[in-house]
Amino acid sequence: MELVGILDTICTKRNGHGESWLWMDGEQPVLYVDISDSLEHHDEEELADLRRKLGTLPCYVISADISGRHPGVKIATKFSKLILDRKAGVARDDYTDHLWTLSEIAGGINVKGHSFCDT
């Protein structure tokens, strides 16, 4: 799987945690990253949005939880740009229902009054 190779390159594999990685800042983990091929946690509206934005449903979902000890917006933006620069897709944050493209994240675009990961 191509995404596993990307994550293996930019993250540290979490031993004993299946398809799970850590994105480090020096010695400290700043993102806890998981990959799944399941879309079961997405409702029909979200799936329809994905189809519209991507033309199809994604094969995989990457989730990245930010450690509370680090600046979330900066980290989420950098990580999302790294992934989306290597693999077509979209990102979603916890603050809007918008599916963010690489160009929107990189350009600091506002949607409904918010930029990517903007509280």
Mean pLDDT of the chain: 88
- Predicted confidence at residue 119, as pLDDT, reads 62
- Predicted confidence at residue 43, as pLDDT, reads 86
Residue 2's pLDDT band (boundaries 50, 70, 90)? confident
Helix (H) or strand (E) holding 5: helix 2-10
Residues 6+ apart with CB under 8 A from 2: 87
- Predicted confidence at residue 78, as pLDDT, reads 92
* Residue whose token pair is 């596993």: 4
pTM of the full structure: 0.84
Cα angle value 49/77/117 (rounded, 5°): 60
- Predicted confidence at residue 58, as pLDDT, reads 87
Amino acid at 58: P
Helix (H) or strand (E) holding 74: helix 72-86
pLDDT > 80? residue 68: no
- Predicted confidence at residue 118, as pLDDT, reads 78
pLDDT tens, position by position, 4-20: 899 999 999 988 777 89
